[in-house]
Structure 1
Amino acid sequence: MNKEVILRGISKAEDKLLVARILDKYTLSQKIMSYTHSDFLDPYQQNVVRKCLEMSGIRDHVFYGGFSGAERTVVVFCPYYMPENIESEFSGFFEILKIKPNTRENFSHRDYLGSLMGLGIKREKIGDILVREDFAFVVVLKDIADYIRINLTKVGNARVEIDIVNPDELDILEPKVKEISSTVASLRLDSVASAGFGISRSKTADLIRGEKVAVNWETATNPARLVKEGDTISIRGKGRVVVEKVGNTTKKDRIHILLKKFI
């Protein structure tokens, strides 16, 4: 692995720093011949890291976030072998906290995250936050779990109780999605996003130019950018849609698309 060559191929400074840290974790795993892992990565960061690892031929790794299907994950380097049961092998890297306010007020993801970061905890130490009706499950790296249990006393103005739970106690809810079947003149980002979010194409183009739209969690600024099957399009404050299928062309030269909108 030539670290300098890999980093030269990355344009964004923040991505370069991220990949440098990840490659250091890989080098350490090879040196000590033991598992090493990164902090939590959001989906965009995962894409950046995954591409660099693939181009570098580094295959002894896995992305895992404390439970199957987690959105935020760490990357774990496995110098010996890839374990068959990832969940049992790597569960020791995480703790799952159940944070229960002593009020009937329904707190949001932002409320829980804000209270945690108010303790001085960096975002990359916190994984998925699964909000339920009167509590939340929060996945954190093991080294900060006790600090949170001792120091997090409130969410908003409500006092909280915190317990550590086993991964099998998580009730993973299926995301609610709405299927949208439509036709578009082209696979331009502004056209597909307009169909998915039910807003005009001109308004969508303004949002794109205003840097409020992302494709696969990377900010997109060109309304004419083409999207493809499997891409995730998100608009700040409006959620996200996935291009589930690109179909045939109609007699009027419009393209059938099937989108899945998370609601």
Structure 2
Amino acid sequence: MDEETLLRRKILDTANKSYNQNIYTYTGFLGLSELAIYNSMKKELQFAYPSTFGGSESSERQIIRFGNPEIFGYDDSFPISVLKISPLTPKFAQELEHSDYLGAIMNLGIERSLIGDILIKEKDAYVYCMNHIAEFITDNLTTVKHNHVRATVCDEIPDIIRPVLTEFEVIAASARIDAVVASITKLSRSSALEFFSAKKVFLNGINIENNSAQLKPGDILVIRGFGKFIFDGCGNETRKGRVYVHMRRY
């Protein structure tokens, strides 16, 4: 059985458990490709009232929750904690990358599905994780690469990692998704097509290979390696007939 079939079965089993037992159920954190599979299943999962969240509205990795507060009579928050990982001696600490933090955490024997986004702010890192694994990480994570570190649980999401949307404009041939991707990545339209064939473009959570799709205001566009964007529509035309495209970047 291939990985996609296994994931589909696991998601459906989680939905059925919620529906049959009248309890909230959760998947682990899912990446963009896994969420694209979930989005392709949405219609068949509506009976279990799915929703997704990853710690903030801009989170790339997200958990699926099944359950309806109106039916159950109570709400249940997503089981997500935020950890802050800081060097014990900041002055001498080595600059670290996402892969350094992820590798150190997974070397503790923790599965990838228990870890969400990792955000680096100067010499600190903030890690979204499942609640039940947070204390284990704080007790056992003492080094990341050559840095001695301390991991603590944040009482709430720190302001420093709250999403801030940045408005910007690009000039594109049209609102076609391939034209917008080309303008954002500063590549030719033909070169931008490689992102589609490599399955690196996601529109509203769905991996999209149709490069002729027209973007609509409010669409969320993710380009692997370049970021996550909201399409706000097109403005005036240039003298050459191209258009100003209004975007916001997470």
SS in structure 2 at match of 1:46: helix
For the Cα contact (< 8 Å) 1:186–1:254, is it kept in 2?
no
> Aligned residue for 1:98?
84
Pick aligned residue for 2:109 from 120, 125, 130? 120
Distance in 2 separating the partners of 1:70 and 1:85: 25
Q: What's the counterpart of residue 30 of structure 2?
A: 41
Shift of 1:219: 5.7
Provide the secondary structure at the position in 2 that maps to 1:150: helix
- Matched residue, 1:245: 233
Displacement, 1:38? 0.8
- Taking the aligned partners of 1:248 and 1:28, their CA distance within structure 2 comes to 51
Q: Does 1:141 align with 2:151?
A: no
CA shift for structure 1 position 54: 2.9
Of residues 186, 189, 211, the one that matches 1:201 is: 189
Q: Which has the higher contact order (CA 8 A, sep 6+)?
A: 2
Deviations 1:55-109 (A, max 9, x none): 44325332223455533221122256378996xx315x23322211224333232
Deviations 1:158-204 (A, max 9, x none): 11112222125554333353512424057251x32221222233433
Find the counterpart in structure 2 of residue 214 from structure 1.
201
- Cα distance in 2, alignment partners of residues 76 and 159 from structure 1: 36
- CA root-mean-square deviation: 3.4
Q: Could you tell me how far apart the structure 2 residues matched to 1:171 and 1:82 are?
A: 36
Task: Tell me how far 1:214 sits from its aligned partner.
Answer: 1.8
1:182 is paired with a residue of what secondary structure?
strand
**1:127 deviation in Å?**
1.4
Other structure's SS at 2:96 match: coil
The answer to whether structure 1 residue 20 and structure 2 residue 6 are counterparts is no
Contact 2:229–2:248 (CA<8 Å) still a contact in 1? yes
* Distance in 2 (alpha carbons) for counterparts of 1:146 and 1:260: 36
Q: Give the drift of 1:35.
A: 1.6
1:136 counterpart SS class: strand
Pairwise CA distance, 1:26: 1.6
Alignment partner of 1:228 out of 215, 220, 225: 215
Shifted more, 45-54 versus 112-121: the winner is 45-54
Q: Does 1:187 align with 2:173?
A: no
Secondary structure in structure 2 of the residue aligned to 1:58: helix
Matched residue, 2:63: 74
Question: CA 1:28–1:244 in structure 2 vs 1: closer, same or farther (change >3 Å)?
Answer: same
CA distance in 1, matches of 2:39, 2:110: 26
TM-score relative to the length of structure 2: 0.77
How many pairs were matched up? 244
**Residue segments in structure 2 that go unaligned for 5+ positions in a row:** none
- Kept in 2, the 8 Å contact 1:98–1:136? The answer is yes
1:155 aligned onto 2:144: yes
Q: Percent identity?
A: 25
CA–CA distance in structure 2, aligned partners of residues 137 and 149 of structure 1: 12
Alpha carbons of structure 1 residues 258 and 103: separation in structure 2 relative to 1, 3 Å: same
Query: Is the 8 Å Cα contact of residues 57 and 163 (structure 2) preserved in structure 1?
Result: no
Give 3-state SS (helix, strand or coil) of 2:23's partner.
Answer: coil
Measured in 2, the distance between the counterparts of 1:185 and 1:170 equals 36
Q: Tell me, what secondary structure is at the counterpart of 1:244?
A: strand
Question: Helix, strand or coil: the match of 1:167?
Answer: coil
What is the DSSP-based 3-state SS (H/G/I as helix, E as strand, rest coil) of the residue aligned with 2:182?
A: helix
> Is the 8 Å Cα contact of residues 60 and 81 (structure 1) preserved in structure 2?
no
